[in-house]
Amino acid sequence: MPPLTAGVTKAGTGIDGISWNILGQTYVPKQLSDESFAWHATFPPGTFVPPHIHPTQDEFIYMLEGRLDAEIDGRAFVATAGDLIKLPRQIPHGLFNKSDQAVKCFFWVTPTRRLYDLFWAIHSMKEQNPSDVVALAAKHEIVFLPPPAE
């Protein structure tokens, strides 16, 4: 992984012009080093990241626009512009855009571990069907949780 370099990643661009489609959302990587990885995310209405755990990373989300419903360790939260969502490692969490507007937010994790590689792998899938994404994520240190019992 490259060392952190000084400079500015301009608005509307990502590292090397990268833009990923991840589960219907758009992720644009902004910074990458062994210690941390940051990306801009756009969640269209109705999109979500199912409940999962990062066993080896702390994750943060700074809300820029819109509203995200978050399930964190079994509790419901709502985050809007200016809020910071804190997701310590080992804590189950899911993110949901239940509104009729796009959500824009800035994510970062520390340390990077295998998340950057996971996003490339998901983006490169011919079809992002749930069972394949879950299996791939497990190989990259992200554990998706089973749906709640009915």
User: Is residue 63 domain-resident?
Assistant: yes
Q: Which of 7, 10, 65, 52 is CA-nearest to residue 33?
A: 7
| C-beta of residue 9 within 8 angstroms of C-beta of residue 38 | no
Q: What are phi and psi of 138, to 5 degrees?
A: -60, -30
φ/ψ (deg, to 5) at 91:
-95, 120
Cis peptide before 146 (omega within 30 of 0): no
Domain membership flag for residue 4: no
* Total domain count, the chain: 1
Mean pLDDT of 51-63: 97
Is pLDDT at 4 greater than 90 in this prediction? Answer: no
Q: Domain of 67?
A: 18-144
Render pLDDT for 77-113 as a digit per residue (tens, 0 to 9). Answer: 999 999 999 999 999 999 999 999 999 999 999 999 9
Q: Tell me if 8 is assigned to some domain.
A: no
Query: Which whole number is the average pLDDT over 24-49?
Result: 96
pTM of the model: 0.94
Contact call for residues 46 and 97 (beta carbons, < 8 A): yes
Say what percent of the chain tops pLDDT 90: 85
- Position 135 pLDDT exceeds 70: yes
CATH number at residue 132: 2.60.120.10
Among residues 56, 25, 139, 145, the alpha carbon closest in space to that of 94 is found at 145
What is the C-alpha to C-alpha distance for residues 46 and 11, in angstroms, rounded to an integer?
Answer: 25
Structural domain includes residue 83: yes
Q: What is the pLDDT of residue 73?
A: 97
Could you give the dihedral angle defined by the CA atoms of residues 143, 35, 11 and 15, in that order, rounded to the nearest 10 degrees? Answer: -80
Kindly tell me the burial class for residue 21, based on how many C-beta atoms sit within 10 Å of its own C-beta (0-12, 13-18, 19 or more). Answer: middle
Quote the mean pLDDT of the chain: 94
Q: Per the domain annotation, does 61 fall within a domain?
A: yes
User: Tell me, what's the pLDDT at 39?
Assistant: 98
Checking if the pLDDT of 57 tops 80, the result is yes
